[in-house]
Structures are given as C-alpha cells and as structure tokens.
Amino acid sequence: MKCRYAFTKALLCMVSLAPMAQATAQEHDHHHAAAAVAAPAQRWTPDAPLREGMRRAHVAVEQLHRDETGRMSAAKVVEHAVRIEQAVTFMYANCRLSEQPDAALHGILVPLLRAAQVLKQDPHNRRAVADMREAIAHYPQYFNDPDWDAASATPGIHDGQ
C-alpha cells in the first residue's frame, strides 16, 4: 500500500535520524492533513494488534500526563517516550487494515511518534505530552473499540509501571 510505504519511510527517518525526523514527520503530517480522512459514519473495528498497541501507547501517555508536577525524572520520561515509539512500531508491523482505516490510523500515529521524538530530545517539553494526548484522543472517533474507556482504568496506569 502506497501510504504504508510513506509511513515506513517516515518511521525509519524518525527513529534513526532525529534532526531529519521532525522535517519528515511534518511533511507526512502535511500530506495526511491535506488528505484527512473524515470520521466514518460507522467506526471501524480495530484488529487485535491495533487494540494492544493503542493501549500500550495510551498507558505511557497517561503516565506522562499524570506527572503534572514535573517530578518524574528525565530518564523516566524518556523511557515512556521509548515505550510509545515501540507501541507505534508494533502497530505498524502487526496491524492489517484496509486503506481508509489505515490512513486514519496514520493520522493518529505520525503525530504521536513525532511528539515522542520531541519528548526524548527534551524531557521537560510538556507540549509534547499534550500533543500525544491530542493524537490518541482521535482513536475512538475512528475506531469502535468497546474496551477503550476501560483502558484508562488499566492497572499500572496510575502506579508508574
């Protein structure tokens, strides 16, 4: 799929070449913004890898968000950013979606991955955490994941695991 190829290219650039990552992600974001996928009349059903990967990313993002006081060490912040990158990589490698849900998912994952890269470079950048929360907030608009609301009550989300 053409879009998967573009995403693979962006993903590889972001992971291996940090300075080029922001430019590549911005170009990819612009591409997806121009060809934005409207929320479907009936939300798509996510496959198991998508559900798992989104939960993993959601847990890490919520742990970062809950640290509003900024007491989390820079190393712990970077650890959560790496977990988000790993969750995105897992989803990309394992999700099998048709073209429209795939395009919608890329509109979520690219900004999520870009914000994780920013946070790794600057663990005190609270805007990156807000950007990740905003990206993840789009997931239930596109995907019918009946357990999504329960994800915020997942053990480990409040205890720093």
Q: What pLDDT, in 10s, does the model give residues 68-103?
A: 777 899 999 999 999 999 999 999 999 999 999 999
Rounded distance between C-alpha atoms, residue 80 and residue 78, angstroms:
5
Rounded distance between C-alpha atoms, residue 125 and residue 118, angstroms:
8
Instruction: Quote the tokens at residue 31.
Output: 């591409």
Q: What is the mean pLDDT of residues 102-123?
A: 96
Handedness of CA 145, 97, 78, 129 (dihedral sign): negative
pLDDT band at 152 (very low <50, low <70, confident <90, very high): low
pLDDT band at 18 (very low <50, low <70, confident <90, very high): very low
Query: pTM of this prediction?
Result: 0.74
Instruction: Quote the tokens at residue 95.
Output: 């999700």
Using DSSP's 3-state secondary structure scheme, residue 113 falls into helix
- CA angle centred on 95, ends 127 and 25, rounded to 5°: 35
